[in-house]
Amino acid sequence: MTPARILTVAGSDSGGGAGIEADIKTIERLGGFAMAAVTAVTAQNTVGVQGIWPLPPEAVAAQIRSCRDDLGIDAAKCGMLGGPEVVEAVAAELAAGPALPLVVDPVMRAKGGDRLLAPQAEEALRRLLLPLSTLVTPNLPEAAALVGHPVGTAAERERAAQELVELGARAALVKGGHGEGDDLEDLLYDGHRFYRFRTRRIATRHTHGTGCTLSAAIATGLGQGMDLPAAVARAVAYVQEAIRLAPGFGAGHGPLDHHAGQTAWEEP
């Protein structure tokens, strides 16, 4: 069977735990064919971001166009975009092509706290990318920043998800990993009803790239023809297993195991 063609538009993580690198691992593990439009090169590891070098907006747009015009795209995800000019270029290029499932992960900060989205780019993301998105996947701090109010209670999270849909997204997944306690809930609102995906927190510091991995996994599912709740459910289960099997690399927030139990290829 021909694999679904999944495009990731995001920054490169030299440490391999997040960004383009995590997305490609995820897409391929779940049976898709991964393509990439790199928005920035970062010097990054488990303890922080040591440097960021953004690519010109026209270079990002050209990468998207190259993939679309030759290979074709069945679904896409956006991660780290950086500045407003890149947000504008990505939105314009995606809008110029055929409509496709788009997952927008509004990456604002790295796991260690380094800012990855310029404050002035947040408005461009709201105005230009959310109306193109099939799903937006903010964590709790990102959801609060996008809607402009706290999201500490269940009612506030429901309200935030509804407001994100009112801003133009077809659906919103407010992720609960930054919440308190060991019982976590990711809240999906599709414009009509709420779906709740509950998991138990895994006691580990090795959670670098969880948001990238989740959004790439959802985009892969959508590109493969899964409906949205099913794509989210599979993605949540995959991320949980990848966290559980994390290899323990690095002195800080280490990467997941994107193999998620898969054995290495061996020659027949």
CATH number of domain containing 228: 3.40.1190.20
pLDDT at 241: 97
Longest dimension (CA), the chain: 57
Least confident range from 26-30, 101-105, 179-183, 248-252: namely: 179-183
- In-domain check, residue 196: yes
- In-domain check, residue 251: no
Residue 163 — φ and ψ, nearest 5°? Answer: -70, -35
Nearest to 92 by CA among 68, 72, 71: 68
Catalytic residue among 175, 213, 221, 223, which?
A: 175
Nearest to 83 by CA among 54, 63, 61: 54
Nearest to 210 by CA among 165, 169, 260: 260
In this structure, how many other beta carbons lie within 10 angstroms of the beta carbon of residue 196?
10
Q: What is the pTM of this model?
A: 0.96
77 is catalytic: no
- In-domain check, residue 267: no
Task: Mention every residue, 6+ apart, whose C-beta is less than 8 A from residue 244.
Answer: 202
Q: Tell me the pLDDT of the chain averaged across its residues.
A: 94
Q: Which residues pair with 78 in a beta bridge?
A: 9, 104
With 80 as the cut, is the pLDDT of residue 116 above it?
no
111 is catalytic: no
Catalytic residue among 32, 176, 209, 221, which?
A: 209
Query: Crossing angle of helices 84-96/57-66, nearest 10°?
Result: 20
- In-domain check, residue 229: yes
With 70 as the cut, is the pLDDT of residue 265 above it?
yes
Catalytic residue among 46, 210, 213, 220, which?
A: 210
pLDDT at 196: 98
In this structure, how many other beta carbons lie within 10 angstroms of the beta carbon of residue 255?
27
With 80 as the cut, is the pLDDT of residue 111 above it?
no
Nearest to 218 by CA among 117, 125, 137, 100: 137
The whole-angstrom separation of Cα 149 and Cα 143 is: 9
Catalytic residue among 15, 19, 82, 211, which?
A: 211
- In-domain check, residue 263: no
With 90 as the cut, is the pLDDT of residue 113 above it?
no
- In-domain check, residue 20: yes
Both tokens of 98, joined, read 């055929």
pLDDT at 126: 92
The domain of 72 spans: 5-244
78 is catalytic: no
Total domain count, the chain: 1
Collapsing DSSP to helix, strand or coil, 143 comes out as: helix
Q: Is residue 112 very low, low, confident or very high in pLDDT (cuts 50, 70, 90)?
A: low
In this structure, how many other beta carbons lie within 10 angstroms of the beta carbon of residue 105?
30
Write out pLDDT tens, residues 118-176: 778 888 999 999 999 999 999 999 999 999 999 999 999 999 999 999 999 999 999 99
Catalytic residue among 212, 213, 220, 223, which?
A: 212
53-76 average pLDDT score? 98
Portion of the chain with pLDDT greater than 70, in percent: 97
Write out pLDDT tens, residues 8-61: 999 999 999 999 999 999 999 999 999 999 999 999 999 999 999 999 999 999
End-to-end CA distance of the chain: 21
- In-domain check, residue 73: yes
211 is catalytic: yes
Q: Tell me if 109 sits within 8 A of 98, measured CB to CB.
A: no
pLDDT at 110: 62
